[in-house]
Amino acid sequence: MRAVVRWHDGIARDAEREVAEETAIALTYGGSTQAVMMATPRDLEDFAIGFSLTEGIVTAASEIEHIAVVETELGLDIQMRLASPRSVAFVSRRRAMAGPVGCGLCGIESLAEAMRPLPALAPDSRRVKADVIANALRRLPKAQVLNRATRAVHGAAFATPAGVLTLREDVGRHNALDKLVGALARSGIDPAGGFIMVTSRLSVEMVQKAAIAGAPVIVAVSAPTALAIRSAEVAGMTLVAVAREDGFEVVTHPGRIDFTRLDASAEDGQFDVA
């Protein structure tokens, strides 16, 4: 908690505010640091697995044999050991990347790495009802416990038509998404069975991470960039943007969204947060 002077309606009062922690976190593989991110120091195993997956360092969580979080004077070091032959492949492609909170691509050594080709998402007969997305958006603010307390963090959530909601929060939008991807991988949840929601702008690295995770639908409260749209179009991903509980815009591949109305009894389905 932080002591503050709160001015409201012309009156100043002593008050307290809960603040979000921001810590330098290194992601280290076999003794070699791959990235240093400014992030919220919670759900770190989810973060380690999600980052490893979305950055293409591993293709499955099982390829990480060991994870240890080591506290140092300067921050936290998430030390991972990769299984062979993945560890050999990592050494051959090792690159250094340092990213402040606002950047998911900082320090990448080549344009080819920044514009890596995305896996094509398979066409799917499953569709998401617009009302299901609206219901999930309605419940999202309540599910963001840390943001309700601090007003300083982003959220990334996964919802299914059945109403299950998994959410992770972080000061960095791409860190929150990495944590979510890691949480889904650890739980054995297929992202193709629902949709991802993010409380941030939809930039290209968010599309890249979601596509690599296998998510066919991503919903953002803000608007996408032109590059994000082009990348999603090629990958076959559905982008839902400027999303509120009373409406949104489907920017790419609208065939995955079902605009027929839910039964009134289904609209109030419970979303349990994990």
Residues marked active site are found at 103
Count of Cβ atoms closer than 10 Å to residue 125 Cβ? 5
Quote the tokens at residue 52.
Answer: 């490893």
Compute the residue count for the chain.
274
C-alpha distances in Å from residue 95, one per residue of 9, 30, 34, 159 = 53, 13, 6, 34
- Cα separation, 271 vs 80, in Å, equals 33
Quote the tokens at residue 193.
Answer: 């069975």
Bridge partners for 156 per DSSP: 168, 198
* H helical segments located in 106-203: 111-114, 130-143, 145-150, 173-187
- Cα separation, 199 vs 78, in Å, equals 26
Buried b (16+ CB within 10 A) or exposed e, 75-103: bbbbbbebeeebbebbeeeeeebebebeb
3-state SS, residue 110: coil
- Cα separation, 20 vs 41, in Å, equals 10
